[in-house]
Amino acid sequence: MADTTRMSVAEIEEFAAGMLQAAGTSPDNAAPLAKAIAAAEREGIASHGLMYLPIYMEHVKCGKVSGTAVPGVTHPKPGTILVDAGTGFAHPAIAIGFAALVPAAQACGIAVLAVSNSYNCGVLGYHTEALAAEGLLGIGFTNSPASIAPAGGAKPVIGTNPMSVAAPDGAGGAALLIDQSASVVAKSEVMKRAREGEPIPLGWALDADGNPTEDADAALKGSMAPAAGYKGVGWGLLTELLAAVATGATLGIDASPFSGTKGGPPRTGQMFIAIDVATTSGGAFAERLSALTAAIGAQEGVRLPGAKRAAARARADAEGVAVPTAILDKARALLA
């Protein structure tokens, strides 16, 4: 078994921030990204935690992402906020956008944030949950480099294109958190298997000829399998429409990969919709949501979306997180 080092969530955040800054990221940009990395580790989503840190550092060093970008914010209409990430990290751009999105949604009842010229936003549910913490229903979309072929085809045209919905619990958290990609699994899971030399289950991806494969490397040269067949392709297209077409960001077919140094900045996009559901429901949102979640949770063997993350958080807070030392060493080596 690989050697591990047990770290607290605060230690993970501190380590990530230090590495990002050493690689050329400004403190203002490193802080929100490091916080999100630590949150991913806390929730047991290792594929978006420290495992991604060396990639972030490498991309800052090669210029694929600007570590010193200053996002530009405009507010053209009362319920519309636009942020140009300036080829920088998505996390500081989203954080700055949320500072305007939240009060706009509270004032208008609904508001939208469009982020363009951006980068990988990590765990999308991390961002929608921040809106739920403000008492808003948070809906998020992000596009990514093309990796899913249309139904019946073999050439990727859209990315795994996640969507997320977070419903407020009225106590600064999310009572329900849905976070899923348009593919059977996130592409990062296949990348993880490829790095570790492990096979993938049949049904996860297709090779370059459009055939099912268990070879992770062949899958990365082919396409990800859409969830629920053509329906998953439809959901991915919806996300592409909102996160790229409607924000003015780069389409997945033109975006450079989120891994490796090939290509320039991906310039992808994100869109977030925040709804004041206390107003739209006439004050009945909490009661209705409670009835819905109770009906789901009452069934044996059923888990509410987001419950697994909550359990992982409790474990991490009590025991820390076991981090592979190889990942820490890889990040340090990039500075040598």
Give the pLDDT score at 273.
98
Buried b (16+ CB within 10 A) or exposed e, 219-238: bbebbbbbbeeeebbebbbe
Which residue shows structure tokens 């500081």?
92
Task: Determine what percent of the chain is predicted with pLDDT higher than 70.
Answer: 99
Written out in words, the top-level CATH class of the domain with range 70-183+226-304 is: alpha beta
Q: Is the pLDDT of residue 1 over 70?
A: no
Give the pLDDT score at 176.
94
Residue-wise pLDDT for 218-270, tens only, equals 999 999 999 989 999 999 999 999 999 999 999 999 999 998 899 999 999 99
Give the pLDDT score at 192.
84
Mean pLDDT along residues 161-169: 97
Mean pLDDT for the chain?
Answer: 95
Residue-wise pLDDT for 286-312, tens only, equals 999 999 999 999 999 999 988 899 899
Instruction: Tell me the catalytic residues.
Output: 47-48, 189
Q: Report the alpha-carbon distance of residue 317 to residue 324 in Å, rounded.
A: 18
Q: Is the pLDDT of residue 280 over 60?
A: yes
Residue boundaries of the structural domains of the chain: 1-62+306-336, 70-183+226-304
CATH number (1.10.1530.10, 1.10.510.10, 1.10.3720.10, 1.10.630.10) of 1-62+306-336 reads: 1.10.1530.10
